[in-house]
Amino acid sequence: MKKTLLLLAASVACAFPALAQKTYTLTSPDGRLRTTVAAGDALTYAVTLDGRPILDDSPLSLTLDNGTSGGIAPRVTGVSRTSVDTAIPSPFYRSAEVRDRYNGLTLKMRGDWSVEFRAYDDGVAYRFVSRAKKPFNIVSEQAEYRFPADCAVTVPYVRDHAGNIDAQWRNSFENTYTETTLSKLDAGRLIFLPLVVDAGDGVKVCITETDLNDYPGMYLWNGDGGQHLTARFAPYPKRTEQGGYNNLQMVVKEREAFIAKVEAPRTFPWRVAIVGTDPDLAASDLSFLLAAPSKIDDTSWIKPGKVAWDWWNAWNISGVDFRAGINTETYKYYIDFAAAKGIEYVILDEGWAVNKKADLMQIVPEIDLPAIVEYGRQKGVGIILWAGYWAFDRDMENVCKHYSEMGVKGFKVDFMDRDDQQMTAFNHRAAETAARYGLILDLHGTHKPAGLNRTWPNVLNFEGVHGLEQMKWSPGTIDQMRYDATIPFIRQAAGPMDYTQGAMRNATRKNYRPVNSEPMSQGTRCHQLALYVVLDSPLNMLCDSPTNYLREAECTEFIAAIPTVWDETRILGGRLGEYIVTARRKGSTWYVGGITDWTPRDVEIDLTPLGIDATVEATIFRDGANADRKASDYRRESIRIDTSKPLTVHLAPGGGFAMKLKPEKTGGMKKR
C-alpha cells in the first residue's frame, strides 16, 4: 500500500515554495533566558542566556504514516501565551513542595498539532501535542541540538555493542561518563540521557526528557563530527521471545519501521534543556515539574524509607548458629537487624522464587514466605520482593493481588533493559497496578525516572545508574569517585536513583579490587556516609551485611537515622566531576554532606543560606587523619558550630563528610 508521509515542521523546503518565516520569542521569568521559535519551511528554536547563544537554530519535527496529506511545513493557526507561578506539593521528593514558575508559548498548527514551549529560569522545554482522533504511527521524530561551538561534553554511552546501533536498543542504562567534545563523539555509540554540554563561561546545558509514557525514550548521537546532537529512538517491537537473563525478559527479535503507535489525542514527552552553572544543574527540579501530576489521590499509604539489602553483601552474616543464605532463618536475622535500627524494610532479592521459571508463585523450599512476612509485621518491618520484569508482567494482576493480601509491601522489578514504547508503557502499567493494591515499587534495570516519580509516587526509586553494585566486579580502572562527583549534576537531574550505598569495607585507589562475595567501595567511609545526603533516594538501601553494620555502630546509627525524603534541599557548592556539598532539611534538623573525587581538597562551606540560628549543635563524620592510607579511617565529633562563619572541612582522596545540625533548643529556624 502506498503511504503518504506527513511531515510536521520538516526541513523539505527544496520541494516547496519557501514559506514566509514567522518568529516568536519566549523569555524566562527572570528575563535571562530567551527562546526564539521560527516557523517557516521548518520549525526551529534557539536559546540565548544574557544575550549569548547557547543553542543555535535547532529543528524539531515528527514524521507520520497515517496517509494524511499536506502539512509539510508548519502553518501556525493560533498562538497563546501563559505565565504560571505556583507551588506543587511533592511529599516524596527532595523538597516538600516545589515552585513551578515559567512562561509558556503554544503554537497551534494546521493538521491537529500543537507545540508547547516553556521557559523557566533554569531551562527551556518543548513538547508536541496531537489532537487527532484517528490512530496513526510515528515513523520518526527529529530533535536536534545545534551548538555555536565545538563544546566539551560529558556523556554516558550505551556500554555494549559499540558499532552496532541496532543492538544498543537493549541496554541497562548503566555506564560511567566519557568526557570529550561534540566533534569527537563516537559515531558507533548511542548516548542515553541525561548528558551535559559545556557552553563556556561557567554555563552548562543538561539535556534530558520527562513525562515519558507510552513513547520510546530518546537517545542522542553524532554521526558526522559536527557541532550538534541528533535524536534516535528505538523502533517499535514487532516480535519478542522470552529469554535474556534467566528467562526473565522478553527479547526483541524484530522491530517495526516506526517508533510509536498513537491511538488517541495525547501529549508527547518534554524535551528539556537545563541551563545554568554546575550547582544550578544539581538543584534543578524541571524533570519533576514537567511531569504529569500524581494519579494517586490518597498517598497516605506510601511509605518511603531505608532497606536492609541482602544481595550486595552475598548474605554474608556471621556469628550465628545457622547456615546463612536464601532461607527463612537468614531473613529473620535481617528483620531483627532492621527492627533494632529503625529500618523500614527488608528486601528479598533474587533467589526467593524458583530460578528460570519466570513464575513468582513458585517459591524455593528454603523460604517460608508467609512466615517471613508475618515476622516482619510483628517487628514493624515491611518486606519487599525482587522480580524479573517478565515474571512480573506476565501475571501482574494476580501477583500484585496475591502478595498484597499476604502483607508484602512492594516489589523491586528488574531487567527491563529497554525503553522502546512497549517498555515505557510497562513501567506506567506496573505502577498503576501496584498502586491499586497498595504496593510500592523500585524499578531496576530501567531508564532514568523521566517524571514517573511524580505521576506515580508509589514508584519510590529507580536504577539507571552505575551504582555501588558495580564494585562487586569492576576493575580498578573504573573511576567511581569521579562518577560519584558527576551524577548529582547529570543523572540526578532526571530524578531519584537507587545507588545502593553504605559499604563498610572501604578502599583507597591503590587498595581497591573487585571481590564479588565480599565487596568493597572505592573511597572513604565518610564518602559512603555522605552519599545518603548527597543523593536523592526516597527508598534507600543499606547495602552491606547486618553483621558489618553491627560492628560499626556509630556509622550505622547515623545513616539509619537519616531521612529519605525532605522538606528542603540546597546545593551549597560543587563542580561537575570534582566535588559537591548538599544540605537537606527535615523539620528543624539539617543534614549536610559532601564528597570529592580522588583529589583531596579543603571545602569551605557557607551555612548562612540555611537560615538557622548562629550557634547549633553538630555531629560530624569526617575523614580521619590516615584516610588516604586506610579508607575506613574516620573521626566522629560532637561540636557547636557558629553558622555565621564559613566552615572548612578537609576531604581525603575519594573522601567525604556528613554532618547533622540541630538548632539550639532556645533558638530555631530563621525566616528565609
The pLDDT assigned to 72 comes to 52
Q: What confidence category does residue 663 fall into, taking pLDDT thresholds of 50, 70 and 90?
A: confident
Q: What is the pLDDT of residue 571?
A: 98
What pLDDT shows up at residue 8? 39
Distance CA 451, CA 430 (A): 15
Predicted TM-score of the model (pTM)? 0.95
Q: Which residues are catalytic?
A: 414, 469
Mean pLDDT of 532-536: 98
Average pLDDT of the residues of the chain: 94
Q: HSE of 50 in the Cβ direction (CA atoms, 13 Å)?
A: 6
11-68 tens-digit pLDDT: 333 334 455 789 999 999 999 999 999 999 899 999 999 999 999 999 999 999 875 4
**Which residues, including other chains, have CB under 8 Å from residue 645's CB and lie 6 or more apart?**
none
Cell of 174: 548503566
By the 8 A CB rule, do 206 and 155 touch? no
Compute the average pLDDT of residues 304-310: 98
Measured CA to CA, the distance from residue 177 to residue 195 in angstroms comes to 9
Query: Is the pLDDT reported for residue 671 higher than 60?
Result: no
The percent of residues above 70 in pLDDT, for the chain, comes to: 95
Strand, helix or coil at 547? helix
Average pLDDT over residues 441-465: 98
d(CA 285, CA 521): 30
Residue 529 has pLDDT above 90, yes or no: yes
- Looking at the predicted structure, is the pLDDT value of residue 1 above 50? no
* pLDDT bracket for residue 213 (50, 70, 90): very high
> What pLDDT does residue 49 have?
98
* pLDDT of 299: 97
Average pLDDT over residues 596-616: 94
- DSSP letter string over 340-402? HHT--EEEE-TTSBPTTS--TT-B-TT--HHHHHHHHHHHT-EEEEEEEHHHHHTTHHHHHHH
pLDDT at residue 4 above 80? no
Instruction: Determine the pLDDT at residue 665.
Output: 58
Grouping H, G, I as helix, E, B as strand and the rest as coil, residue 102 is: strand
DSSP assignment of 200-233: ETTEEEEEEEES--SSPPEEEE-SSS-SEEEEEE
Q: What does the pLDDT read at residue 331?
A: 98
**Phi, psi angle pair for 24, to nearest 5°:** -135, 135
The arithmetic mean of pLDDT across residues 523-529, rounded, is: 98
The sheet carrying 410-414 orders its strands as 459-462, 440-443, 410-414, 382-388, 345-348, 305-308, 539-542
Alpha-carbon gap, residue 222 to 60, rounded angstroms = 16
Lowest-confidence region among 174-188, 376-390, 655-669: 655-669
Lowest mean pLDDT among 116-125, 389-398, 624-633, 658-667: 658-667
| pLDDT of residue 73 exceeding 80 | no
In this prediction, residues 136-148 reach a mean pLDDT of: 96
| pLDDT for the residue numbered 19 | 59
Number of other CB atoms surrounding residue 70 within 10 Å: 11
Q: What is the pLDDT of residues 170-198, one digit of tens each?
A: 999 999 999 999 999 999 999 999 999 99
